[in-house]
Amino acid sequence: MTLYLNLRRSRVGGFVLSEPYMLAGNGETGALAGLPWGEVPRLLGGRNLLFIVHGFNVDFAAGARMFERLHPLLDLAANDVAIGVLWPGDSWIPVIDYPFEGDVAITSGNAIAKFCRDHLAEARSLSFASHSLGARVVLQALLGLGRPARSVTLLAGAINQNCLIEEYRAAARNPMDLSMLASRADRVLKLAFPLGDPFADLLHDDHPPFQPALGYAGPSRPEAALVEGPWRIPEADNYDHGDYLPPSAARPPPPRSPPPYIAVAEYIRNAFYDQPQPWPPT
């Protein structure tokens, strides 16, 4: 059984639920059902929880499939629980909605924080990992979490490079351990982010325009001291934006061999358990 935190009102696009709820089942087949509220403290109380937040342009079914495929690769200990977060960072008209999804990400982060405060106070610890625009969701959640996070891992963060010392300065000082991965082979963050970010900034003015993405350029020099372990993926490894997590398509194409997301899953697990990171090489 795989667990999800559902923030979505609709399977495609839509608004963020004011009261998110837990789902349980198989995300690959779509056989998911609401978890009775009485089961939440029984299943999650006293446990170390790891929330995985997908990125932009991922609908309900795609997010569920992706996390179902990632879940066994994390290989967490028996008393630890990974939870996929499904949030509406997508639209019926894909891609061009990107400038508007920053506010959705902020609303989603606030909803996660409230859910954790209201229902997960008895959890032993809370940790987060994110991909792409999910970085904003996680950082926003940290602002309202009301307790330190055990670990936070930002993968291919589609957020401005200096966010950890500007807009999310307080969030960056919340987790016990903050790690990230960035790749200069990421074509989405290299080419598309600089085009879409200035339009998003018109709606949400949080930084000077034309900054590179955190998941492309990596942390700025003042931010580097906040980040644990190696974060730069060598260009020779050729990690593009979609290589960090398992594919989300119903019939995914054959992956590279070995699949690039295997190393990323190990990176997330090592960060969660505060273990040495053998990859990427420094």
Q: Which pLDDT band holds residue 92 (cuts at 50, 70, 90)?
A: confident
Q: Which two tokens stand for residue 76?
A: 């967490």
Mean pLDDT of the chain: 91
What integer is the mean pLDDT of 14-43? 95
Q: Is 27 helix (H, G, I), strand (E, B) or coil?
A: coil
Task: Measure Cα distances from 232 to 131, 183, 256 in Å.
Answer: 15, 6, 20
| Higher-confidence position of 201 and 112 | 112
Residue 99, pLDDT above cutoff 70: no
Rounded CA-CA distance 243/41 in Å is: 34
H or E stretch covering 187? helix 187-187
Q: Is 173 helix (H, G, I), strand (E, B) or coil?
A: coil
Q: Is 68 helix (H, G, I), strand (E, B) or coil?
A: helix
What integer is the mean pLDDT of 91-116? 81
Q: Which two tokens stand for residue 22?
A: 């837990």
Residues whose CB is less than 8 angstroms from the CB of residue 186 and which lie 6 or more positions away in sequence, other chains included = 156, 213, 215, 216, 239, 240, 241
Q: Is 155 helix (H, G, I), strand (E, B) or coil?
A: strand
What integer is the mean pLDDT of 116-120? 96
Question: Residue 181 burial by CB count (10 A; 0-12/13-18/19+): exposed, middle or buried?
Answer: buried
Structural domains of the chain in order of their starting residue, each with its CATH number: 2-272 (3.40.50)
What is the pTM for the complete model shown? 0.94
- Which pLDDT does position 192 carry in this prediction? 78
Q: Which pLDDT band holds residue 202 (cuts at 50, 70, 90)?
A: very low
Rounded CA-CA distance 114/109 in Å is: 9
Residue 96, pLDDT above cutoff 70: no
What integer is the mean pLDDT of 89-114? 80
Residue 77, pLDDT above cutoff 50: yes
Residue 199, pLDDT above cutoff 60: no
